[in-house]
A and B are shown apart, each in its own frame.
Chain A
Amino acid sequence: MSESPSPTPQAAATPQAAAATPQAPALRARGLGFRFRSRAGARWALRDCEFALPAGRITALVGPNGAGKTTLFHLATDLLRPTEGAVEVFGHTAGTPEARGGVAFLAQDKPLYPRYTVEETLRLVSRLNKRWDHKGAEDIVRAGDIPLSARVGTLSGGERTRVALALAMGRRPGLLLLDEPLADLDPLVREEFMGTLMAEVLDRELSVVLSSHVLPDIEHSCDYVLLLKDGHIHLAGDADELRATHTLIKGRADHPVPDHVVHARTSGRQLTALVRTGGSGTVPGDWATESPTLEDVLLGHLRAHATADASAAGTAPSTAEGAAA
């Protein structure tokens, strides 16, 4: 509730360390499912989700539109209640005071009161929280040359995103959830935003989950990946590990296709495929192999057909568990 900066930077830097067990994953889902009810009937937005995102990582939440990314964020912040299963933030069930205190959420449309000034907006959020770093929040706003007396309604999209980020960071969260933060920003502002975010992550022990459909943006910033498709987890794991366990192969289309192909594409007589190699990196047969980028891996899995997905989904939970341990 205090508007003054936290007494010591150290205390503010690791708020979640004292509040939760150190081993607890930043975000964990157990048999998580959510069903929307509408006039058209019920529809599962998320089903059977099981994952554990390790603390201290920047996780990319990837998936096509309608995959359930936003629903997952809303469940983690108690804006929605699970139909089945549970979500935990640092070991605390979403919605409990401990979980609320540990997580900050930046919604996709960056909802702010247009008639409030930036200053009033900061004060408003400070009033609603027990822990609040006013100086830290103001610094983020100032770094974007946004006057504190400006009305929020007069700000540009990038400035609004910056104010919304300041509100989230001012809470000194252990976990920061960003829903498509870059979607409506131009490339320059996008780079600047990622820069600010990275600086904040380095300064503090912060876990971040960032959803994006702009794959190049996450290539260099994210070190963990959660891929959602049709409400199911299709892939979860460490980014480096995913690169290492996949191989891109190229060869003649009339060759017999090897096992564990995630996705294959033919153009003319040439076949390009993403293959899951399990770490060996070798693929039997006459193929030119290449290490994939994270983008290649994600695209391959995003394009994979439902039949191929079944095998990928089957291995996903073990990948997640292995990386979390």
Chain B
Amino acid sequence: MNGTLWLAWRQQRTLVLVAAGLAVLGTVIAYLAHRHLTSELAADWMRGCGWDSANGDACPFQRFSEFRETEVVRLRAFGFLIIALPGLVGLFWGAPLLGRDAELGTSKLVLTQDANRTRWFVSRFALAAVVTIALTTLLSLLWSWWREPLNDKVYGVQWYDAFALNATGPRAVAATLFGLALGTAAGLLLRRILPAMIVTLVGVCGVGAALELGRRALVPPRLYVSTGSGPKVPMGDKWSSGNWGYLTPSGKREGIENCTYTGEELRKCMASHNYVQRFYEANPHSDRWLFQAWETGIFLVLTIALILLTGWLLRRRRV
């Protein structure tokens, strides 16, 4: 084995084994939970529950709330682990990756051997990146597979659920890579593991929170309009913005509170306010890929910037 890669393995083997353990544990948990979930969904008592249950009495309430509390909570807990991965990887893998050598002074030992520092950095970072990418990919695929039976259930976890948006697809993987790159750069820059961990935690939470609050500014909800008091385009699996109401002939939007009626009364009310159309705003299911593309792109750009910063710091100084 190449010398720098051997050193990378020797120093990261505990973390690699922990990652492998998590992968095995995650697979077993997801498999068992998915099996239990599908058998519950196929059970006789479940038939009366869901979107299209014509008669609420057909659904045994006690049993059903138990099911919701256990199955959905389990799924979210697993999703939470995936959402926490960027932070965990950044703190416990990224920050010590170069920070430990800087803190111990051993960078002076390893950097003055024949193997040059670019190879030293590439080997280390590549091993960490490959393992964390593999782990995140596996866990998020497992989670998506587990969520699938609950996807179109009114009580389930929809595609626009914060867990589903954050814990699935390339976005989840890019977020973990970002956590690793941030921890690595912070460790090298601050040369102490603990402050680097704090910076990493703040950075990962900050970017995560910014995306959570700002993602609909990146992919704005679309406008759905229906003429007069005629039937609306069904909401279906769209992600409603919660903004809906009436349009005047000039296209001005007014809130729903002015006419809270149905049928003939609604028609009269609309006429009295001179409303010609009804509208609502929502993101269709197909927007999921736009959210994924934007957020993956943002994380990758940040990751590349941090890797370039790390490379620049390594070239410039940092004994």
- Partner-B contacts on A (CB < 8 A): 1, 74, 77-81, 97, 100-101, 103-105, 107, 109, 111-114, 120, 124-125, 127-131, 167, 171
B7 touches A124 (CB 8 A): yes
Residues on A with beta carbons closer than 8 Å to the beta carbon of B315: 81
Tally A-B pairs: CB < 8 A.
68
Write the chain B residue with the least CB distance to A128.
B113
Q: Would you call A81 and B113 a contact (CB within 8 A)?
A: no
B115 within 8 A of A: yes
Is B214 part of the contact surface with A, judged by Cβ < 8 Å? Answer: no
B63 is an interface residue with CB less than 8 A from chain A: no
A128 to B6, CA, bound (A): 9
B105 touches A107 (CB 8 A): yes
- Distance A113 CA – B109 CA, assembled complex (angstroms): 9
B249 CB to nearest A CB, Å: 64
Mark interface residues in B89-118 (1 if CB within 8 Å of A CB, else 0).
000000000000000111111111111100
Looking at A107, A109, A120, A167, the one whose CB has the most chain B CB atoms below 10 A away is A107
B114 touches which of A101, A107, A109, A114 (Cβ 8 Å): A101
**Which residues from 138 to 170 on chain B have a C-beta closer than 8 Å to any C-beta of chain A?**
none
**Quick check: is B10 within 8 A (CB to CB) of the other chain?**
yes
B17 interfacial contact with A, CB 8 Å: no
A81 lies within 8 A of B106 (CB): no
Contact B113 A171 (CB under 8 A): yes
* A6, chain B: closest CB distance, angstroms: 15
Query: Which residue in B3, B7, B108, B115 is a CB contact (below 8 Å) of A111?
Result: B108
Contact B319 A80 (CB under 8 A): yes
Question: In the complex where A74-B319, A81-B316, A109-B105 touch, is A104 in contact with B112 (Cβ < 8 A)?
Answer: yes
Query: Nearest-CB distance from B250 to chain A (Å)?
Result: 60
**In the complex, chain A residues whose CB is within 8 Å of the CB of B229:** none
Given contacts A100-B116, A124-B10, whether A111 and B104 have CB atoms under 8 Å apart is: yes
Q: Is B317's beta carbon under 8 Å from chain A?
A: yes
Chain A residue contacts of B27, Cβ below 8 A:
none
A100 surroundings in chain B (CB, below 8 A)? 112-114, 116
The smallest beta-carbon distance between A258 and chain B, in angstroms, is 45
A-B pairs with the 4 shortest C-beta distances? Answer: A111-B105, A128-B113, A127-B3, A107-B108
* Interface: B4 (CB within 8 A): yes
- What separation, in Å, do the CA atoms of A301 and B108 have in the docked complex? 31
Which of A78, A79, A105, A131 has the most chain B CB within a 10 Å cutoff?
A79
Q: B6: shortest Cβ distance to chain A, in Å? A: 5
A265 to chain B, nearest CB (A): 38
Query: Whole-angstrom distance between the alpha carbons of A237 and B66 in the complex?
Result: 88
In the complex, A100 Cα to B112 Cα: how many Å?
7
| A127–B6 CA distance with the chains assembled, in angstroms | 8
Smallest beta-carbon distance B221→chain A, Å = 47
What are 12 sample pairs from A and B whose C-beta atoms fall under 8 A apart? A77-B112, A78-B112, A79-B111, A81-B317, A100-B113, A100-B114, A100-B116, A111-B107, A127-B6, A128-B115, A129-B114, A131-B114
> CA A78 – CA B1 in complex, angstroms?
25
> CA separation between A176 and B115, bound complex, in Å?
18
Bound form: Cα–Cα A131–B114 in Å: 9
Classify chain B: how many residues form its interface, as a range: 20 to 34
Q: Which of chain A's residues has its CB closest to B108's CB? A: A107
Q: Are A107 and B3 in contact (CB under 8 A)?
A: no
Contact of B3 with A112 in the complex, beta carbons under 8 Å:
no
The interface bits of chain B over 297-319 (1 if a CB of A lies within 8 angstroms of the residue's CB, else 0) are: 00000000000000000011101
Is there an interface contact between B108 and A79, defined as CB atoms closer than 8 Å?
yes
Residues of B near A1 (CB, < 8 A) are: 3
Chain B residues whose CB sits within 8 angstroms of the CB of A124 once the complex forms: 6-7, 10
Q: State whether B104 touches A129 (Cβ < 8 A).
A: no
Interface residues in B45-90 (C-beta closer than 8 Å to A): none
Bound Cα distance A125, B115 (Å): 10
Contact A127 B112 (CB under 8 A): no
Smallest beta-carbon distance A129→chain B, Å:
5
The smallest beta-carbon distance between B16 and chain A, in angstroms, is 17
- For residue B315, which residue of chain A has the nearest CB? A81
Contact indicator A113/B112 (Cβ below 8 Å): no
The complex places the Cα of A113 from the Cα of B106 at a distance, in Å, of 7
Q: Hey, which chain A residues are within 8 Å of B111, CB to CB? A: 77-79
Task: Give chain A residues whose Cβ lies under 8 Å from the Cβ of B113.
Answer: 100, 125, 128-129, 171
- Are A105's CB and B105's CB within 8 A? no
Q: Is the CB of B319 within 8 A of A79?
A: yes
B106 touches A112 (CB 8 A): yes
Residue of B nearest to A103 (CB): B112
- Contacts A79-B111, A100-B113, A120-B10 supplied; 11 other A-B pairs, CB < 8 Å: A79-B319, A104-B112, A105-B108, A107-B105, A111-B104, A111-B108, A114-B104, A127-B1, A127-B6, A128-B7, A129-B113
**Closest A-chain residue to B1, C-beta based?**
A127
A107/B109 in contact, CB under 8 A = yes
Residue of B106, B114, B316 near A97 (CB, 8 A) is B114
Whether B112 lies near A105 (C-beta < 8 A) is yes
Least distance between B125 CB and chain A CB atoms (Å): 17
Q: Once the chains bind, are B106 and A111 in contact (CB under 8 Å)? A: yes
A130's closest neighbor in chain B, by CB? Answer: B114
Residues of B within 8 A of A111 (CB): 104-109
